[in-house]
Structure 1
């Protein structure tokens, strides 16, 4: 069953926790499918939300933000398309931002969606067609994909690279990778083939150090061995893949977006067909300015003139990305020298202020400073919440998506005196403090 929505909650929505999500009025669009009844189809209902940058004439790609396994992670996917930081990446390349939410009951087999061959790839392709029609961008069904996935979502995103290498511009795999050989300890998990075409797709294996690197036991201890095996297999055949270990985190997403988004930005600049090109597939990345990164952190080096075993080191697309990688694997403090975009369309109605603002592509949006008559009045959010890393204006969930209710660019000045005039100014602050 198909239902394209422009707002509200569908009558056929599954009962809580999957029936609470933001309204999808343009430039947001939503489509939801019931569980498939035919053999081989997706056994869970799925909800896809899409954001299209206002004013874009023709989309050049779609950034896919894929949550992980479990009811909580699946539910977190409902807000992914509203993330201002990920929107900044998508807008920079005339791409849409897509966030799926698989309605997996707690305790159900995650492999039934995170293996794309179990119906989720077919549902994904279907949603691109349906959302392309609903948004007035039918090219959505044909444009390339930039993949980001967490945990089971990393398994899914990597699986999509292996199944559709000609469609994927780049893939960031946080705490999850597909299997390339059968694992007797993981019943029901099928191995993938590694096609030649996948070797030309930039990929990053990203995980927390407590997922088997420095902590060798516990629930997530197997993440590092799986990532290392996947990296060795791909890089051993010359694939464009690297490893970035978060030194501060476990299975949560931590501060990974401050490397993931700039890394995807660089890959999209090099891979997407040139703006205005009607024909032509993804561009191959030139090896001339590649940098090489040790697997478990340290100092990256230029590939030019490197005399060692190239395929034992990770691949990075250029010096700027290499320097960011070095900062990230040291302490996750990826630096930024540029201020965020300034707020616009400040309106004052009575004592209520509203405004609009885009996020900084490198460092996101930490909040706002509101001034009244040249003096600081308040900083928003007054109590930001992110137990996993830098505080963001929209707050952050475990699976790297905003919390509900979505933060509003709105402030009520309760200390304003009736009949008195004030001059207000709103300043944006990114997570680097600029």
Structure 2
């Protein structure tokens, strides 16, 4: 019966696949980027959608210590947004710090197809992902990619996928952040394709952050995504009851869109990876130190060291330490997570016929907002002229709905059309992060 159901679904999906726009408008995967693509399969238990996997490997790295996975959500638009995920400069800063690759899938799911056929990893996407790690490891010259630990972030259906992979492979997951989507722990009679999971004991060793918008059922009880909080609350309660290292961060400004979550999430992942990734090649994940933990009431606003928490600790949300707890308290208040460190300075500035090009890395804490162009010591422009982001802080690369750079990618490039001919000018470029801090 399962085989017939899958084949029938594939038959229904095929015309939709033929009608949709092709997945061919995305950045080229030239080193340090690498890409593999797999076609849809008609074999029961395998992935029924085509999929692209793109990975970025920090230049000059000898051995990878892990891979950070940035997983988009459901729907054709969100799936296409995954094509730029590996090109995100802010997420690359996190990967670079920890000697990790940054990987972004892009499932070719038609808008009306069943998202569960990829966001439940038991339907073939889990196997396809692990195959991609092997193939991308061979392409990039880093065969260890197939065996290193995973740090998982996912939005909506991507949260279901990341949570499912954490349940299925807890020994491989260094940390998991689930934005607006969690795996379900009981059957849903209205959605027969959603299969429940059973939590393994090993789930208690994996740091997990459930992140969602307040308008997804916390303060707004109606609407398309109002049920998100109920699912998150149940998932949190069951994992925490087992002693799991799980927290909840509610975005006070948003609904299902990702908003400013990255300014907290990246710091949370940074803290977890700093403790868990092994130094030696092929080593096992390290346990999170218990002495540093902070606790807070679920939907509370104040966190304290675990030893000072006076409530029921089995129902309190967990945070990995002081700095993350401080960021969490700010994030859940107004998302304005503070930063006191300037971004790295741009490099490799070149000028030819009035055209400036340069390279720059993002600030780990606050990313990149824009660049200031200086000529002969005076500011003449900003790039982009007006940075935009419909979902949160204005950002250099812009953001799509599933927290990936706008497509096509914005370039680090400026044309000075007002330079005096025949006169030598001195140019410089300054990076500005989203906290307003400037580089040298």
1:329-340 counterparts in 2 under 5 A?
A: 329-340=332-343
Cα deviation, 1:9-58, whole Å, max 9, x if unaligned, reads xxxx9962412110000000000000012111100000000000000000
Aligned to 1:8: none
3-state DSSP of counterpart to 1:281: coil
User: Do 1:363 and 1:431's aligned partners in 2 also have CA atoms closer than 8 Å?
Assistant: yes
3-state DSSP of counterpart to 2:131: helix
Aligned to 2:377: 374
Q: What is the distance in 2 between the residues matched to 1:328 and 1:189?
A: 32
Aligned to 1:41: 46
User: Do 2:148 and 2:282's aligned partners in 1 also have CA atoms closer than 8 Å?
Assistant: no
Instruction: Give 1:388's match in structure 2, choosing from 386, 391, 396.
Output: 391
Aligned to 1:411: 414
Aligned to 1:356: 359
Aligned to 1:10: none
Aligned to 1:61: 66
User: Do 2:20 and 2:110's aligned partners in 1 also have CA atoms closer than 8 Å?
Assistant: no
Stretches of 4+ aligned residues off by more than 6 angstroms: none
1:316-335 counterparts in 2 under 5 A?
A: 316-335=319-338
1:166-181 counterparts in 2 under 5 A?
A: 166-181=171-186
Aligned to 1:7: none
Compute the displacement of 1:345 (Å).
0.7
Aligned to 1:252: 257
3-state DSSP of counterpart to 1:360: coil
Q: What is the distance in 2 between the residues matched to 1:308 and 1:78?
A: 45
Instruction: Give 1:241's match in structure 2, choosing from 242, 246, 249.
Output: 246
TM-score, normalised with respect to structure 2: 0.94
Q: What is the distance in 2 between the residues matched to 1:283 and 1:96?
A: 19
Aligned to 1:347: 350
Aligned to 1:229: 234
Compute the displacement of 1:290 (Å).
0.2
Aligned to 1:310: 313
Cα deviation, 1:47-86, whole Å, max 9, x if unaligned, reads 0000000000000000000000000000000000000000
Instruction: Give 2:135's match in structure 1, choosing from 130, 138, 142.
Output: 130
User: Do 2:41 and 2:49's aligned partners in 1 also have CA atoms closer than 8 Å?
Assistant: yes
Answering whether residue 201 of structure 2 is matched by residue 196 of structure 1, we say yes
Q: What is the distance in 2 between the residues matched to 1:283 and 1:166?
A: 10
Q: What is the distance in 2 between the residues matched to 1:279 and 1:394?
A: 35
Answering whether residue 286 of structure 2 is matched by residue 283 of structure 1, we say yes
Q: Which deviates the most, 280-289 or 168-177?
A: 280-289
Answering whether residue 264 of structure 2 is matched by residue 273 of structure 1, we say no
Compute the displacement of 1:383 (Å).
2.3
User: Do 2:72 and 2:155's aligned partners in 1 also have CA atoms closer than 8 Å?
Assistant: yes
Q: What is the distance in 2 between the residues matched to 1:387 and 1:88?
A: 23
- What is the count of residue pairs matched by the alignment? 421
User: Do 2:65 and 2:281's aligned partners in 1 also have CA atoms closer than 8 Å?
Assistant: no
Answering whether residue 146 of structure 2 is matched by residue 146 of structure 1, we say no
TM-score, normalised with respect to structure 1: 0.95
Q: What is the distance in 2 between the residues matched to 1:80 and 1:14?
A: 25
Cα deviation, 1:315-353, whole Å, max 9, x if unaligned, reads 000000000000000000000000000001111111000
Compute the displacement of 1:269 (Å).
0.3
